[in-house]
Amino acid sequence: MSTHPAFTSSAELNITLQGEVLWLTITREERRNAMSHAVLHGMTQAIDAAQSERSIRAIVITGAGEKAFCAGADLQSAQAFTTDYSEPHGHLAQLLRAAKASCVPLIARVNGACMAGGMGLLSMCDMAVASSHAIFGLPEVKVGVFPAQVLSVLQHLIPRRTLVEMCITGEPISSTEALSYGLVNYVDSDVDAKLQWLIDRLLDKSPAAVRRGLYTMKHVETMAFEESMAFTESQIALFTLTEDAKEGQKAFQEKRKPVWAGK
């Protein structure tokens, strides 16, 4: 991987490459991994930079320790929600935009409490694995505010009535409930073993298909049916032109494992 400055760790965000997986770990354990503006900016930069690094096949987002994934905005900060009221693009919003545009799969490793803005980090990811002891909540009403940007990525993930209850009561749900609502893919007492199992099922597949596939999925999400059909008609033709598509079909015919070029 290139020595891109966006992949340099800071005191609050540890950025490491483990094989083909980029790990972004919030290292503010004493603050329950609450989001600082530096954390949000660092994550945004890393996700953006990963798009041009073909060696990176997945991005894991997590928090240090075992107690908290992310407690949301740091309410001890004087400027917990913004640093400049004249700037229309907030740090969390910019991170959610970067995640939405990512063609590299984002996986949340929910190792503990996932609250408020932390629910935004979870929801912006394409998949999620949670520890059995993890809890999930939108407690903003308890401090006089309300989930805002988080709703943009959360509202289509879970049932509407569940979302309303979580928003207006501020009460948390368990990992078992989160799984039943489709908020996470898997819950396991050994979150790392389950995460690795999921990553392994991704890494042996075509990089080109995954990259173009995520691009396609994210674009059709808000399209009307006929618009979606017109878009996907052209996309499937482009899929077949990749080297991976040709290799995949050849390997199938020759009854062997494909060797992906990622192009």
What's the pLDDT at 218?
95
d(CA 194, CA 234): 36
Q: What is the pLDDT of residue 81?
A: 58
Rg, C-alpha atoms of the chain: 19
For 34-97, the DSSP string reads: PBPHHHHHHHHHHHHHHTT-TT--EEEEEESSSSEEE--B-TTSTTSS-S-TT-SS-HHHHHHH
pLDDT of residue 90: 77
Q: In this structure, what token pair is assigned to residue 54?
A: 């073909």
- Topology of 5-203 in CATH? 2-enoyl-CoA Hydratase; Chain A, domain 1 (3.90.226)
Domain ranges of the chain: 5-203, 207-253
pLDDT in tens, 170-180: 999 999 999 99
Q: Which of 140, 13, 10 is nearest to 80 (CA)?
A: 140
C-alpha separations of 27 from 32, 105, 107, 119 in Å: 9, 22, 18, 17
Q: What pLDDT band is residue 77 in, cutting at 50, 70 and 90? A: low
Q: What is the pLDDT of residue 91?
A: 85
Percent residues over pLDDT 90 in the chain: 88
Residue 155 has pLDDT above 90, yes or no: yes
- Residues 234-248: tens digit of each pLDDT: 999 999 999 999 999
**pLDDT tens digits, one per residue of 194-212:** 999 999 999 999 999 999 9
Tell me phi and psi for residue 87, to 5 degrees. Answer: -90, 115
pLDDT in tens, 84-132: 666 666 788 999 999 999 999 999 999 999 999 999 999 999 999 999 9
Q: Does 262 score more than 70 pLDDT?
A: yes
pLDDT band at residue 79 using 50, 70 and 90 as cut-offs:
low
Q: List alpha helices for the chain, DSSP H.
A: 37-50, 91-101, 117-124, 149-154, 160-169, 175-180, 191-203, 207-220, 225-240, 243-253
State the average pLDDT for the chain. Answer: 93
Give the per-residue pLDDT at 5.
Answer: 82
- For residue range 221-230, what is the model confidence (pLDDT) as tens digits? 999 999 999 9
